[in-house]
């Protein structure tokens, strides 16, 4: 979609689309600010969800979408002064792709890694594109595993690498359950909460 000339945002932020009756649906911005006025939004229709049904109708109708934002603080450090790990769960991949799109436009001097976890392989909808990228500063790992326990292969991958992340910045995206599962792997390994950024910390805080 195209947005008005005055719209501005930082990589990693999201916006909200009006559905009517004061309802809104949040969508990650999956593109870099350098692409403005073009904006990429990734959306997955979820059967049985009222908000998704209404958004499906808006897309079918065409025309103009009313948006609000941008929102969110889980953005790229400017400049990137340390290695970066992006951890995404499910549709949180949209935010991760927006971050990568920005980094691809101006390659960083520090290594960047992406871990994208999903229940099913088909949910990793940009896996082929990620695997086609050939940059010495970038590595990516896509893991499909629907288990909700410590044996989940994504959490095992993270647990194996957590002791090496002492000097990393970490951005987490996805559902609160996914984000806090990753946090619970990182904290015992000595990774500080101050190293992590996630919008989940603001809209779904826990004690």
pLDDT (tens digit per residue) in 124-173: 999 999 999 999 999 999 999 999 999 999 999 999 999 999 999 999 99
Backbone angles phi, psi at 114, to 5 degrees: -125, 130
Task: Tell me which residue range forms the domain holding 176.
Answer: 84-203
Could you tell me which residues come within 8 angstroms of residue 3 by beta carbon, excluding any fewer than 6 positions away? Answer: 36, 37, 38, 39, 67
- Please indicate, yes or no, whether residues 95 and 182 belong to a single structural domain of this protein: yes
Query: What does 11-73 look like in DSSP terms, one character per residue?
Result: TT-EEEEEEETTEEEEEEB-S-GGGTTB--B-----TT-HHHHHHHHHHHH-SPPPEEEEE--
Tens of pLDDT, residue by residue over 57-114, are 888 888 788 899 999 999 998 889 999 999 999 999 999 999 999 999 999 999 999 9
Give every CB contact of residue 130 below 8 A, 6+ residues apart in sequence: 114, 116, 140, 142
| Residue 88, in any domain of the structure | yes
pTM of the model: 0.93
* Residue that the structure tokens 């987490």 belong to: 172
Question: 100 with 45, same domain?
Answer: no
Both 120 and 62 in one domain: the answer is no
Q: Are 169 and 77 in contact (CB under 8 A)?
A: yes
Q: How many CB atoms lie within 10 A of CB 11?
A: 22
CATH number at residue 136: 3.40.50.80
């Amino acid at each position: 979609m195209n947005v008005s000339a005055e719209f501005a945002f930082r990589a990693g932020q999201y916006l909200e689309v009006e559905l009517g009756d004061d309802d809104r649906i949040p969508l990650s911005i999956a593109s870099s600010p350098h692409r403005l006025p073009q904006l990429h939004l990734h959306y997955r229709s979820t059967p049985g969800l009222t908000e998704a049904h209404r958004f499906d109708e808006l897309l079918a109708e065409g025309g103009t979408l009313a948006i609000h934002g941008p929102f969110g603080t889980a953005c790229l450090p400017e400049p990137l002064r340390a290695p970066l790990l992006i951890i995404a769960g499910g549709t949180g991949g949209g935010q991760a792709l927006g971050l990568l799109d920005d980094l691809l436009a101006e390659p960083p001097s520090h290594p960047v890694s992406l871990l994208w976890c999903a229940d099913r392989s088909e949910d990793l909808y940009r896996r082929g594109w990620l695997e086609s990228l050939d940059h010495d500063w970038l590595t990516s790992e896509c893991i499909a595993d629907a288990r909700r326990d410590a044996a989940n292969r994504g959490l095992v991958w993270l647990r194996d690498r957590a002791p090496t992340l002492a000097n990393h910045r970490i951005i987490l995206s996805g559902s609160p359950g996914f984000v806090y599962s990753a946090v619970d792997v990182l904290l015992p390994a000595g990774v500080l909460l101050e190293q992590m950024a996630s919008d989940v910390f603001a809209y779904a805080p826990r004690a």
